[in-house]
């Protein structure tokens, strides 16, 4: 669903459609001229059995206040059904991510939760980058011992990405315009004594996602052998000076990998909720030990009468 004039959103929509069609997936771009009608369009898509995944290209209302919550865009994210939320940003998936809950159907654990596409693309790129992740370790420990700085704390990228990195064992500094938090061992701590510079200098992985052309990460903060990932649509770092630093690995954009992760999420949604194998058969309820209430009453009455009879005989 596209309901804005943002060139980045339009470009992402084009990439998504091209990739889906190339891979044999049906892609239907629904353009909404008046943003106030997006909610109705979303509800129609939720109820449409032909739709297995929904993506909304934000921002639509930005941080404009909403009667239904902090911002209308946040409200729209939570309007998408978890059975169709291909971006993994609705309330259910966000809460499970922040609580490190990885399955929807505990204790059977057959249906994995979805993860936000852009944050997931960064995780996959780090898995393939030298020295960032150790695949031989168990789940939750693959990035143990790594210190990461994420410069951005948006609900779409920065916050979920910091949580995902921490859930994989890393210590993560989450840097925003006015505050710094540390994600560590499942806990969140405010860091009043840290600055963006001290965080970056301590980190072997630095991820930038500042959505403005004016921002530049000072390259003198970057240590040798650091992996730097630019998630923003603008370049947040001077590439030429960055690559002069010994051993630096630079990933300048993640857009195409993000589209691949969107396709991955779509397949998971189909397997979880829409495919032939996803139809759940209700588990047969086990009968109580006493059968049913009539049998229980009969047994109690017979027991009482037998007891009375024995008592009278004595």
Q: What residues are annotated to the active site?
A: 117
Residues 56, 89: Cα–Cα separation, whole Å? 10
- CA-CA-CA-CA torsion sign (77, 80, 86, 88): positive
Give first-to-last CA distance, the chain, whole Å.
84
How remote is the C-alpha of 83 from its chain's centroid?
14
**What are the residues whose beta carbons fall under 8 Å from the beta carbon of 200, sequence distance 6 or more?**
149, 206, 217, 221, 222
Instruction: Say whether 107 sits in a helix, a strand or coil.
Output: coil
List for the chain the helix, strand, coil content (%; round to 5). 40, 10, 50
**What are the residues whose beta carbons fall under 8 Å from the beta carbon of 187, sequence distance 6 or more?**
none
Are 261 and 19 within 8 A, CB to CB? Answer: no
Residues 93, 290: Cα–Cα separation, whole Å? 41
Are 87 and 117 within 8 A, CB to CB? Answer: yes
- Helix ranges restricted to H, the chain: 7-22, 38-47, 72-79, 91-98, 117-128, 158-167, 196-202, 239-242, 255-269, 293-313
Cis peptide before 48 (omega within 30 of 0): no
DSSP state of 178: S
């Amino acid at each position: 669903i596209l309901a804005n004039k943002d060139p980045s959103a339009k470009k992402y929509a084009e990439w998504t459609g091209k990739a889906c069609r190339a891979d044999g997936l049906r892609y239907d771009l629904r353009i909404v001229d008046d943003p106030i009608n997006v909610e109705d369009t979303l509800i129609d898509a939720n109820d449409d059995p032909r739709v297995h995944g929904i993506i909304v290209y934000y921002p639509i209302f930005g941080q404009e206040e909403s009667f239904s919550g902090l911002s209308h865009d946040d409200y729209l994210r939570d309007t998408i059904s978890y059975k169709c939320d291909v971006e993994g940003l609705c309330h259910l998936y966000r809460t499970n991510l922040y609580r490190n809950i990885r399955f929807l159907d505990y204790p059977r654990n057959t249906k994995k939760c979805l993860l936000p596409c852009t944050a997931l693309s960064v995780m996959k790129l780090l898995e393939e980058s030298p020295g960032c992740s150790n695949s031989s370790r168990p789940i939750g420990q693959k990035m143990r011992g790594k210190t990461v700085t994420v410069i951005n704390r948006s609900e779409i990228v920065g916050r979920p990405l910091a949580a995902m990195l921490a859930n994989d064992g890393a210590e993560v500094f989450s840097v925003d315009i006015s505050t710094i938090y540390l994600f560590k061992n499942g806990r969140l701590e405010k860091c009043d004594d840290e600055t963006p510079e001290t965080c970056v200098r301590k980190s072997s992985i630095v991820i930038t996602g500042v959505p403005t052309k004016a921002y530049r990460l000072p390259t003198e903060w970057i240590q040798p052998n650091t992996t730097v990932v630019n998630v923003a649509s603008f370049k947040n770092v001077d590439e030429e000076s960055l690559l002069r630093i010994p051993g630096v690995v630079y990933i300048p954009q993640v857009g195409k990998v993000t589209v691949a992760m969107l396709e991955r999420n779509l397949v998971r949604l189909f397997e979880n909720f829409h495919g032939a194998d996803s139809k759940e058969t209700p588990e047969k309820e086990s009968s109580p030990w006493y059968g049913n209430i009539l049998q229980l009453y009969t047994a109690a009455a017979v027991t009482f009468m037998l007891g009375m009879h024995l008592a009278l005989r004595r």
